[in-house]
Structure 1
């Protein structure tokens, strides 16, 4: 099967927003868009009921992806849109579907009143059990949200993309995550804003006063470490403007703050081979729930 951008579609507003985002991403990558509609067959006794018969099942299993595909083809000319229906549980089906994809895109409900996501159990399980990069998109996400404002103060698809934000741990940098972020910035012809958060040594938490000069020196060391990690990537991607930000404090909070002016946020997730539990790491978990832009989670060893 050819590589593609795959999106999970269930007819909800969040999955429709994810499909629109995935179509734009497919165009940037020059790949087909694959709509995957997962449906769980109705148990036989219920299927015989007047309101849950074959026609009802056909409505939910055929009409939703068909109409979605037709609309996406009209709104995104040049993008080849494919659709597929997979019976079974959503988590297992989406993890299986992701194996043929370069990117899996899922929708997530927005938190009422504030920026961020309400990530359900299916979304978290899929993220934790696939090696394919996964992007979460909130309901209501618009193409204009990814772009800078014009002179009138209005963002639009005609203005440049906002920066891509990468949350980076300089102690354990991973090439897969960094390369993904640089590629996304290059596709969008925008800057890559690399955010690194660091903390004082643990003994300062036990009442020892922090020396200002020591704090400043530690800050210089952390900034130098970030520069060193990014140096070969700057050489590999000379056309990508890189903005380095190394700050003391919570890494998750710094990435979340940066997400408010981002087109995409990129974070990593260490691969865990255990089939049990959902483990994505504390920083990634916080960013997933509170970022104000689409979030790409990239698995790495």
Structure 2
């Protein structure tokens, strides 16, 4: 087996694990508001990545090119909103539920495609139906339990907004790459970190200036460092490396490890309940998203082959 492929597979799994830890880190910061958690996450990520950009000339050039264009700023702004909605969702709803809803962006994309009266493939329709049924089965026990239905539904709404932002980011990223041959996701991430830090941190400090007193507790410092590094910087770099060296279908499949890791970590560390019916629903959601993603990946590969043949 190719060593670079092994490294890419490991990097993809590490990215899924890092993103899976995000909700648990947020849950372990109950004394912080949404803006405060977002400010800390982006601030730590910015400080960790700053030395890399100061020593890497190519990334600096890409960064300065990015911030001079409306599309580049739009990409970074979307990512700030994604982090904002995701943090709020994790504060209001169980970790596993939020991660699964955020992962429904392919289903939302298919709904938009159908609304625009574009043809929908059989596998796409089957995957969408399976994911929708799975979502109903997954959420139903939570609504009938003691989670606090209004808070729970608001949390899922913010998770849904995160999924919509993810879809918008993917569409804008594709539009940007059509105009320019290369666009490094790491440059976009760094722009997001610095933009979010500049905008969000003053807002958090102005709103509740006493929140810095929470850092008197050593465990808070370690949790914040974990959120900004293990759940933000490491997954970003690892996923970029995996996507560069692996086929789109395999990269998509590795993405499905994120909700699995998130659910396992939340059950073990946060003692979040996971009913059997929800487990069945989660399995259907993951399978449905996989069918949707595989169908899209195969369609993209076929279009690339046809384009190369015509050149």
TM-score w.r.t. the length of structure 1 is 0.26
Larger radius of gyration: 1
Larger relative contact order, structure 1 or 2 (CA cutoff 8 Å, min sep 6): 2
TM-score w.r.t. the length of structure 2 is 0.26
